[in-house]
Amino acid sequence: MKSKLLLLATLVLCHTQSIADNHAGTEPTWSMGAPVEIYGCRFKEGIDGYKQSQKFAAGWNEWANENEVFEGYVAQMMWPEFSDGQYATDFTWLGYWANYEDAGKDMDIRARNGAPMYAESDTFLEQCAHSEWGAWDVFSAGDWTKEHHVTEFADCFYLEGKGDADLLSANIAYASELESHGVTAADFGSVQLWPRAGAPTGIADVASFKWVRGYPNLSAYTGFTHKLWNEGLGSAWNTLYGEVVSCDSSRVYHSEVIRSP
């Protein structure tokens, strides 16, 4: 856990600040984190889930405009492209803000005035989980994160004896490695998400954090994979992270952005 960093998803999250490598003679430090929320739900039996999701998103945008809220918020609904089928979520909503002040204001207004939206969601969703995360950049993405794009998630676990300082050093070196392989913000971005509330934590088999990578489209996704498998980027990752973390097989989603500043 990031206990010393989290006193507490762009995609990827283009508003988060990059990891800071302090050149003033002190050790590298983490930058400021940014708030992310994720809803994961099942569709009720007999529901046309995609159709109802589109209807809900349109109504939610109207509600947000009427209440002058979520103006600096990016929201996306996520639909699986590649998955092992063991993540039992039909409906995934990921939203994020640039800072915690805006997040708190929006959450308060939602708590006071959001009853119509909760009632609407209850007509087609069930077994919902609402979790909050803190996001730190590994490699900042371009503005394509505010449009439909592709998002890749993996759950990562610290290996025995490893922790935040080891990960930070690897992240800084990896960002340089990405640049040396010609990766730019135009076709890639990455953040790491740390659980704050509503996400399982403190259990031996629960991930330490989620590693999120984003691409403007599937061509960029396959292009990045080519760099991993055929141009040495995967070997570089193994060298930097192989003794720090272990990550599971990733899930890849179509991220349908339904609201952005």
Domain ranges of the chain: 34-259
Give which of 8, 4, 1 is closest to 197, Cα–Cα.
8
List, for residues 80-138, the tens digit of each pLDDT value: 999 887 766 899 999 999 999 999 999 999 999 999 999 999 999 999 999 999 999 99
- Cβ contact 149:255 at 8 Å: yes
Strand runs (DSSP E) across 32-73, as ranges?
34-43
For residue 251, count other CB atoms closer than 10 A to its CB. 21
Q: Is the pLDDT of residue 25 over 80?
A: no
Neighbours of 257 (CB within 10 A): 18
Instruction: Note the pLDDT of residue 175.
Output: 96
**What confidence score (pLDDT) does residue 26 get?**
60
pLDDT score recorded for residue 189: 98
Residue 199 pLDDT: 76
C-alpha span between 104 and 113 (Å, rounded)? 14
Q: What is the tens place of the pLDDT at every residue in 159-177?
A: 999 999 999 999 999 999 9
CATH fold for the domain made of 34-259: Alpha-Beta Plaits (3.30.70)
User: pTM of the prediction?
Assistant: 0.87
Written as one string, the DSSP assignment of 83-98 is --S-S--SEEEEEE-S
User: Where residue 206 falls among pLDDT bands split at 50, 70, 90?
Assistant: confident
From 171, 205, 206, 173, select the one nearest 191 (Cα to Cα): 171
